[in-house]
């Protein structure tokens, strides 16, 4: 299902022209997103149903963030991304959707009142980090884990400034965190102090309180 053969030439075809597209996406992001500072990036599954507890919790945390003086950045698609944009927009905040086109999903949601379009994941990820003062990680799949571990790596290696990384929903995250502690720490591939990089909470109120304590507006 996922296999596809590539010719070597395909990998370098039109690389010079591709650079102009990459530069254009960076420029558009750099010109648009400073106006949304300070913002919190919220990540999570695109498959979450609007009636689910995760969706409702995301709406609530986004509302609380805006009411506390923050704007909200999401991936601009359905599920958790829609919930984040919805919660922010409904209380008058800047609700940013960093939309990317994917084969099986990513129809932009209607609640983002600041929207950027991306073709390249790596540029979009730069925008998530550069213009965020915190990350909130809701239950999600591979993409959510990618954003989580990239943020932890960048903070751990001091490639970016420290900012709060908050995992919301201890029941969802407990299995992964047990594996990290019992395997990675035990095998000495990370330090036990690396657990200090992030927080695990169960309510929107706890998440927002951590951000308010650690981020000076």
Which domains does the chain carry?
Answer: 29-214 (3.40.50.450)
**Alpha-carbon distance 191 to 164, whole Å?**
18
Average pLDDT, the chain: 92
**Alpha-carbon distance 134 to 70, whole Å?**
10
Report pLDDT for 153: 96
**pTM: predicted TM-score of the whole model, two decimal places:** 0.90
Report pLDDT for 6: 45
Ramachandran angles phi, psi of 3, nearest 5°:
-80, 140
Mean per-residue pLDDT for 91-117?
Answer: 88
Tell me the pLDDT tens digit for each residue of 107-144. 889 999 999 999 999 999 999 999 999 999 999 999 99
Enumerate residues 6+ apart whose C-beta is below 8 A from 133: 37, 38, 39, 40, 70, 163, 164, 211, 215
Burial class (CB in 10 A: 0-12, 13-18, 19+), 186: exposed
**Alpha-carbon distance 90 to 60, whole Å?**
10
Report pLDDT for 204: 98
**Alpha-carbon distance 178 to 182, whole Å?**
6
Place of tokens 């009411």: 67
Asked if residue 106 has pLDDT above 70, the reply is no
Asked if residue 104 has pLDDT above 80, the reply is no
Ramachandran angles phi, psi of 4, nearest 5°:
-155, 135
């Amino acid at each position: 299902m996922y296999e596809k053969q590539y010719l070597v030439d395909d990998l370098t075809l039109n690389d010079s022209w591709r650079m102009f597209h990459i530069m254009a996406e960076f420029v558009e992001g750099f010109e648009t997103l400073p106006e949304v500072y300070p913002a919190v990036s919220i990540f999570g599954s695109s498959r979450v149903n609007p009636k689910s507890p995760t969706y409702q919790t995301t709406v609530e945390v986004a509302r609380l963030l805006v009411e506390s003086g923050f704007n909200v950045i999401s991936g601009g698609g359905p599920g958790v991304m829609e919930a984040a944009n919805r919660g922010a927009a409904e209380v008058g905040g800047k609700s940013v959707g960093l939309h990317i086109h994917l084969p099986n999903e990513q129809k932009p949601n209607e609640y983002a009142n600041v929207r950027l379009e991306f073709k390249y994941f790596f540029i979009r990820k730069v925008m998530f980090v550069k213009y965020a003062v915190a990350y909130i990680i809701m239950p999600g799949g591979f993409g959510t884990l990618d954003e989580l571990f990239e943020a932890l790596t960048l903070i751990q290696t001091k490639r970016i400034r420290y900012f709060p990384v908050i995992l919301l929903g201890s029941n969802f995250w407990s299995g992964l965190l047990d594996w990290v502690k019992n395997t990675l720490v035990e095998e000495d591939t990370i330090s036990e102090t690396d657990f200090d990089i992030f927080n695990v909470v169960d309510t929107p109120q706890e998440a927002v309180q951590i951000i308010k304590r650690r981020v000076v507006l």
